[in-house]
Amino acid sequence: MASSNKKISKRDTGKLLNEWSQEFAVFVPSRETGVATMAKWDGKDTSFLDWHRNTVIPPKANFLPAMEEMFNFQRDKEGYHIELPPQDKHKQLIFGIRPCDAKALAILDMTFSDSYQDPYYLSKRKNAVLVGVGCTKAYDSCFCTSLGISPAESTDVDLMLTDIGDEFLIEAITEAGKKLISRSRGLAEANEADETRAKASKEAAYQKVTRQLDTDNIKQRLLANLENKDYWEKIAAKCLSCGVCTFLCPTCYCFDINDELVKQQGARFRSWDSCAFPVYTEMPMENPRVEKWRRVRQRVYHKYEFYPMSFDVTACTGCGRCIRLCPVNWDITQALNNLPAKV
């Protein structure tokens, strides 16, 4: 039986990206700024195919920027006049997104389209095409398989690419993906041998994720330890409250809003914020999380207890960024695996 999948030589990836650039603003993994992030395709550099495991800054930044102008305003005798920033009319194509980060965007979609439709986030997401590339070498901090995510497969992308040696096998996941490859040049039909290699590649990638998180009865274990102050003080002892784990988490979405006013004109900005910061929950009368252990507990419970209560999905994809990029090696899997059985 003939395969409906396509394939492309790795050396022709640049040609395919250039073709897609005619229709999309194409983003690929880049280290040009010194920090790996998704950046505009420069039309030639495909070196990321060799070094890319996962970007430091997650792809959420393409849809929820670290700082974003919401509108600008001018003030005169008649009052305030508001002007929205011009919208980029190019649709985005994110190439090389990993399954964990694609899942994270699906989780963020729930947040920004629930009781309030966020126009800034959703306007970017609805025009985006996600082209996933499966992992072939996981970090030792990755634990996606414990959360039901495969490092080499995803239903949260439009196209999924699998490494089969000198080529990529291309699977169309959505209708948008099918339409894209139907009009893309330079693709060949995949054969049975390609499918066999792809299956072996996916299985090998899955086995390379060795860190494990015990998710059995995790909600019950968390509820039982909600008031276990001694445990959370111990867990939080070395945390610096720097916020790195939240800024680099692909599912964290907390933000602050500020106005900048100079004379008679200004702008309103939205910027990333973090529940790790002591002032995050500060109110005129009190701060319910002034102690560090409460903030650390809040982050863990939000991911594994509170978010599932609202959306029936864990707000963690096991990408491991919060472990490998933490300056003091704080480890969320250890915090969860070591929860006392009884309190």
Q: Is residue 203 part of a domain?
A: yes
Is residue 143 located within the same domain as residue 80?
yes
Q: Is residue 36 part of a domain?
A: yes
Q: Is residue 95 part of a domain?
A: yes
Radius of gyration from C-alpha coordinates of the chain: 22
Q: Which residue has the tokens 């980060």?
A: 101
Is residue 179 located within the same domain as residue 62?
yes
Per the structure, how many domains does the chain have? 2
Q: Is residue 342 part of a domain?
A: no
**Does residue 12 register a pLDDT over 70?**
yes
pLDDT at 254: 94
Largest interatomic CA distance in the chain: 74
Is residue 118 located within the same domain as residue 259?
no
Is residue 10 located within the same domain as residue 151?
yes
d(CA 33, CA 177): 30
The mean per-residue pLDDT over the stretch 261-283 comes to 90
Please tell me the pTM assigned to this model. 0.94
Is residue 332 located within the same domain as residue 265?
yes
**Does residue 88 register a pLDDT over 80?**
no
Q: Let me know the angle formed at the C-alpha of 92 by 86 and 94, rounded to the nearest 5 degrees.
A: 145
Q: Which of 56-70, 76-90, 165-179, 213-227 has the lowest mean pLDDT?
A: 76-90
Is residue 192 located within the same domain as residue 76?
yes
Q: Is residue 77 part of a domain?
A: yes
Is residue 21 located within the same domain as residue 160?
yes
From 333, 330, 336, select the one nearest 240 (Cα to Cα): 330
pLDDT at 77: 84
Q: Is residue 213 part of a domain?
A: no
**Does residue 343 register a pLDDT over 80?**
no
Is residue 286 located within the same domain as residue 308?
yes
Residue where one domain finishes, among candidates 162, 181, 207? 207
**Does residue 43 register a pLDDT over 80?**
yes
SS3 content of the chain, % helix, strand, coil (to 5): 35, 20, 45
- Give the other-Cβ count within 10 Å of 318's Cβ: 26
Q: At what angle do helices 229-236 and 292-301 cross, to 10 degrees?
A: 100
Is residue 108 located within the same domain as residue 224?
no
Q: Is residue 212 part of a domain?
A: no
Q: What pLDDT digit, counting tens, does each position of 130-162 carry?
A: 999 999 999 999 999 999 999 999 999 999 999
Residue where one domain finishes, among candidates 153, 188, 207? 207
Q: Compare 288 and 259 and report the one with higher pLDDT.
A: 259
Reported as a pLDDT band with limits 50, 70 and 90, residue 280 is confident
Is residue 202 located within the same domain as residue 229?
no
Reported as a pLDDT band with limits 50, 70 and 90, residue 73 is very high
The mean per-residue pLDDT over the stretch 254-266 comes to 91
Residue where one domain finishes, among candidates 186, 207, 228? 207
Reported as a pLDDT band with limits 50, 70 and 90, residue 79 is confident
pLDDT at 1: 45
Residues of the chain above pLDDT 70, percent: 98
DSSP secondary structure string for all residues of 29-76: EE-TTSS-EEEE--SS--THHHH-S--SS-GGGGTS-SEEEEEEEEEE
Q: Is residue 313 part of a domain?
A: yes
pLDDT at 201: 97
Is residue 136 located within the same domain as residue 283?
no
pLDDT at 28: 98
Domain of residue 329 covers 218-337
**Does residue 39 register a pLDDT over 60?**
yes
pLDDT at 220: 93
Is residue 166 located within the same domain as residue 33?
yes
**Does residue 329 register a pLDDT over 80?**
yes
| DSSP character at residue 316 | -
